[in-house]
């Protein structure tokens, strides 16, 4: 038992860290960047070609009547599966993508970004501050589809 704890301790010390974000007290190493609210607002208002993924939880999404203009809602748990079907199946791997959620530390958006990167997408970013900050900044929204 003591040997297992020693091995686990050594492995944990060897994990690389990145100070971009923290979840549950440990650091996440991520091959993607964060995008600011202002930068995304500019891209959306200029109708730049990018795919925005709303990965808010089902309850958060259901309790909202709006989403970021042009966003596609996908559950982070189903994202990998949904990549095999339209419209995600047809997205070029070099298309700019932004994920956002309503989590306090962008956890679901980070998870979704990690899934996208691990599936070959090269230009993935996480919206820093997510849905709440987007609303505070009066970013463009649209009515979400019902159903």
**How crowded is residue 8: how many other Cβ atoms within 10 Å of its Cβ?**
10
Report yes or no: 112 and 76 within 8 Å, Cβ to Cβ. yes
Reported as half-sphere exposure (CB side, CA atoms, 13 A), residue 86 has a value of 0
Residues 54-66, mean pLDDT to the nearest whole number = 93
Q: Please check the confidence at residue 127 and state whether its pLDDT lies above 90.
A: yes
Instruction: Supply the mean pLDDT for the chain.
Output: 84
User: What token pair was written down for 50?
Assistant: 């990018």
pLDDT of residue 31: 63
User: What token pair was written down for 77?
Assistant: 């748990």
What DSSP letter does each residue of 17-56 carry, written as one string? --TT-EETTEE---SSEEE-HHHHHHHHHTT-S-EEEE--
Which pTM value belongs to this model? Answer: 0.78
Which phi and psi (to 5°) does residue 33 adopt? -110, 170
Residues 118-134, mean pLDDT to the nearest whole number = 97
User: The tokens 């997408």 sit on which residue?
Assistant: 121
DSSP state of 145: P
């Amino acid at each position: 038992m003591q040997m297992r704890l020693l091995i686990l301790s050594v492995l944990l010390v060897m994990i690389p860290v990145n100070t971009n974000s923290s979840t549950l007290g440990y650091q996440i190493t991520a091959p993607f960047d964060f995008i600011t609210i202002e930068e995304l607002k500019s891209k959306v208002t200029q109708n730049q070609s990018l795919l925005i993924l709303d990965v808010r939880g089902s309850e958060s999404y259901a309790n909202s009547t709006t989403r970021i203009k042009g966003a596609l809602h996908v559950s982070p748990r189903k994202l990998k599966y949904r990549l095999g079907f339209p419209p995600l199946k047809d997205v070029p791997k070099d298309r700019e993508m932004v994920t956002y959620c309503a989590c306090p530390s962008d956890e679901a958006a980070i998870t979704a970004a990690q899934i996208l990167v691990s599936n070959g997408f090269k230009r993935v970013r996480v919206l820093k501050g997510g849905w709440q900050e987007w609303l505070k900044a009066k970013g463009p929204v649209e009515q979400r589809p019902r159903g």
